[in-house]
Homo-oligomer: A and B are copies of this chain.
Amino acid sequence: MSETDTVSANGQAPSPRTRVRRIAERAHYERDTLYAILDAAYVCHVAFADEHGVHCIPTACWREGDHLYIHGSNGSRMLRLAAEGAQVCVTVMHLDGLVLARSAFHHSMNYRSAMIYGAFEVVGADRKAAALDAFLNHIAAGRAHEVRAGNRNELAATTVLRLPLDEAVAKIRTGGPKDDEEDLDRPVWAGVLPLALQPFAPEPDGAQPEGAVPDYVTAWARRVGSAGR
């Protein structure tokens, strides 16, 4: 897993669970593709099962190396179960657009998604603070060293987990509609209505310190309303 460019050494699905059956040409097993999808995400969905059935919980995530990380309160049922080694499926999805075809049947969506199977590992106390710093820096580069660091109680109350990216698959759809030949002349608009998660103007909270606004805030403000991609 660590020296190849693909999640599986031969570019194929690393397990039966990650072999994409429906529209298999949308499947990708290259590591760079997987990383790019994960790194563009703030949130993943974690599916797991307990005695009440299956659950699907959205939670913040970040990637470091070959692991996807999540964190939360020790009191979280999901974190507790995941820390005990429960099998999970974690999904990240970016919706990139609505694909409007000339027939009802061929309507679709453009997206980049990643699905990871496995079991989380607990990040030990010695590496917890560093992992949470990486999370803050994923949210806002450099922020980990600006804020008050977690104190002993806060760190002790927080569980950090990481999921190896061994059993993972990305699935991507791009481009316009795939209409049937005989529908191409139909008098109906066809194409893509693109979508993307976009920044809006920063909203400062209460009194702000004098001096420079951090780079990640000014960069965020600069991106607002820039509809070109």
Contact = CB atoms under 8 A, between A and B. Distances in A.
A122 B222 CA distance: 48
A140 B189 CA distance: 11
- Chain B CB count within 10 A is highest, among A53, A146, A150, for A53
A70 interface: no
B148 A104 contact: yes
Nearest to A55: B89
Contact of A91 (B45, B191, B208): B45
Interface stretch (A4-12, A25-33, A106-114): A106-114
Contacts of A109: 42-43, 60
Nearest to A129: B104
A104 B200 contact: no
A104 B117 contact: no
Interface string A63-107: 000000000110111000000000111110101011011111101
Contacts of A197: 95, 195-198
Contacts of A93: 43, 45, 58
A123 interface: no
Contact of A56 (B43, B90, B211): B90
B49 A98 contact: no
A76 B209 CA distance: 54
A201 interface: yes
State how many copies of this chain the complex holds.
2
A98 B113 CA distance: 21
Nearest to A158: B105
Nearest to A23: B73
A205 B217 contact: no
Contacts of A193: 140, 199, 202-203, 217, 220
A39 interface: no
Interface in A118-167: 132-133, 136, 139-140, 143-144, 146-151, 154, 158
28 contacts: A17-B55, A22-B76, A42-B98, A43-B109, A45-B93, A46-B56, A48-B54, A54-B87, A56-B115, A100-B143, A101-B147, A104-B133, A104-B149, A104-B154, A105-B158, A107-B139, A107-B147, A146-B188, A176-B203, A187-B210, A189-B204, A189-B213, A190-B205, A190-B208, A191-B203, A191-B205, A195-B198, A197-B197
